[in-house]
Structure 1
Amino acid sequence: MAFPGTWMTESQSMVYRVVPKCACSTIGQIMYYSDHGRFYDGDVHDATEGLHKWAQEHSQPIIKASIKTRTGYTFTCVRNPYSRVLSSFFDKICGIQRNGKRYRGNLVPLLIQKYGIEVGGDDGTEEFDQVRSFRRFLLFVRDTIRWRRPMEPDIHWSSVSGHVSTFIVNGGRYRHIFWTEKFNEGMQTVLDNVQTPYPVDLGTIPRFNESEGHGPKRLHPVEDYFDDLSMHLMKEIYHRDFQLFRYDFDNPANKLPLGEIDLDEVHAKLGD
């Protein structure tokens, strides 16, 4: 039993499978606050105390025991594939990261050379054709996921269902899966089902968007970035995300889900 990408409160009230680009910073801070009555000072992804994380060896047996005994409330959060992959492009490809460097070192030069994308110059502030560059980035995403070249797929654009499935395959079961687009409603359901050392009032919790400001501002509505070919690629890459989490494939302008998530279906289809 291994549970990569899993965080748990020290009080074991909540067990969360992190999905990158799906409000994970805000969820982590809510979990931290619920145990300590304060937010983590910095990016919660960097926290090495105050939260159990699978990446910390000492946390693994505690997380494993909680999942096995169904002690904590297990949940995750998902996001519309159209807006998620766009966010990955502007944050990770066009943006300068917290360390002042480009994401993954030589990744952006590789994309410029092999796929002809532009990223707004050395600091991401120059004007460039965002639509054309994004569509070329999407070809790269498809190549990494379909053929694992020129590199393995990155966690920020690999499918949501792929992240969600590892928890199920290794013996976990979700009590709740909710949408980023209906965050307060979904997170409130989690909080209603747990007892925490400190009460959480979602109405007063700030949004911790750690990627905000990394890259250039998106100039166009979501739907402008996706033509027929782009939508075909999206279906090839993310068909399970659209199906299982009820997002609207036919209309990139509609970020909201079309129906309720069926937890039994998610467990059956992702548990193989």
Structure 2
Amino acid sequence: MGFPGTWMTESQSVVYRVVPKCACSTIGQIMYFSDHGEYFDGDIHDAKEGLHKWAQDDSKSSISDVVHNGETYSFTCVRNPYSRILSSFFDKICGIQRNGKRYRGNMVPMLIQQYGIEVGGPDGTEEFDQIKSFRRFLLFARDTIRWRRPMDPDIHWSASSGHVSTFIVNGGRYDKIFWTEDFNAGMQDVLDSIEIPHAIDLDEVPRFNESEGHGPKRLHPIEDYFDDLSMHLVYEIYKRDFDLFKYDFENPANKKPVGEIDLDEIHAKLGD
């Protein structure tokens, strides 16, 4: 299986396992800058050079060799399941993507027909009941993850622990896993642990958010989107994420973790 979703600097200074909707655009740009002294002009996900990516055939052997060698610093970044699934809804379901089209072609029309959601009209600008539509989307996300219908789960709402685990199962080991909610502190730990050609001041790094402005603005606090049933569905989908990454299931309003990440626990439980 190799190392899907894994990026590495060309200088081989650091390896990163991408977890969608967890600051991956910003992290990719920081990695690019650390090698080249400038940011990639465009969305880092579109970069075909300047950064090793597992999806690029000519990068696979370099990434495999470095990960299996085990001497290069490896890390990833995770996010509170409540805010992550909500972000996926506004970006991928309600939003118009950077190609000017709906995400995954006929998926949104299918959701409108089968689950009765609304997305703010053709361009996402019309008013609609965000809470009701999000809760219906949550049913769809659960159906894709638990029963793989009406389609396989999408990477943007499949569990973070699933993404994190592939790196471990295939022979990698993380030196650091940090939270999106404490981004600068976590990313600084990574930068302090590696040698890079170009120094970076995290306070001056732009926030590269590919979904910014693509969809309707969230009108309510996070906790308003989750009633008792919604919380139950989120826990059913993301139990391992809450447990391993120490997030607060009981209170959707609390985005911050409630404990420290235990790397040994994560490698033991996700390495099977």
TM-score range, shorter chain: over 0.9
1:82-106 C-alpha deviation (Å, 9 max, x unpaired): 0000000000000000011000000
What residue in structure 1 maps to residue 235 of structure 2?
235
What residue in structure 2 maps to residue 214 of structure 1?
214
- Counterpart of 1:55, as a letter, is A
1:179-237 C-alpha deviation (Å, 9 max, x unpaired): 00000000000000000010111111111011100100000000000000000001100
Q: Aligned-pair distance for 1:71?
A: 3.0
1:30-81 C-alpha deviation (Å, 9 max, x unpaired): 0000000000000000000000000011111100111111232100000000
8 Å CA contact 1:12–1:71 kept in 2: the answer is no
What residue in structure 2 maps to residue 29 of structure 1?
29
- Counterpart of 2:174, as a letter, is Y
Q: Secondary structure at the match of 1:153?
A: coil
1:1-272 maps to which residues of 2 (within 5 A)? 2-272=2-272
Give the Cα–Cα distance (whole angstroms) in 2 for the partners of residues 208 and 82 of structure 1: 21
Give the Cα–Cα distance (whole angstroms) in 1 for the partners of residues 67 and 41 of structure 2: 28
Give the Cα–Cα distance (whole angstroms) in 2 for the partners of residues 146 and 70 of structure 1: 34
Q: Secondary structure at the match of 1:244?
A: helix
Q: How many residues align?
A: 272
8 Å CA contact 1:4–1:54 kept in 2: the answer is yes
**What runs of 5+ residues in structure 2 fail to find an aligned partner?**
none
Give the Cα–Cα distance (whole angstroms) in 2 for the partners of residues 77 and 153 of structure 1: 20
- Counterpart of 1:83, as a letter, is S
Q: Secondary structure at the match of 2:31?
A: helix
- Counterpart of 1:213, as a letter, is G
**What runs of 5+ residues in structure 1 fail to find an aligned partner?**
none
1:121-167 C-alpha deviation (Å, 9 max, x unpaired): 01100000000000000000000000000000000000000000000
Under a length normalisation based on structure 2, what TM-score does the superposition of the two structures give?
0.99
Give the Cα–Cα distance (whole angstroms) in 2 for the partners of residues 13 and 201 of structure 1: 17
Under a length normalisation based on structure 1, what TM-score does the superposition of the two structures give?
0.99
Give the Cα–Cα distance (whole angstroms) in 1 for the partners of residues 44 and 234 of structure 2: 30
8 Å CA contact 1:13–1:71 kept in 2: the answer is no
Q: Secondary structure at the match of 2:8?
A: strand
Structure 1 segments, 4+ long, off by >3 Å, are none
Give the Cα–Cα distance (whole angstroms) in 2 for the partners of residues 99 and 199 of structure 1: 33
CA RMSD of aligned residues (A): 0.6
8 Å CA contact 1:23–1:180 kept in 2: the answer is yes
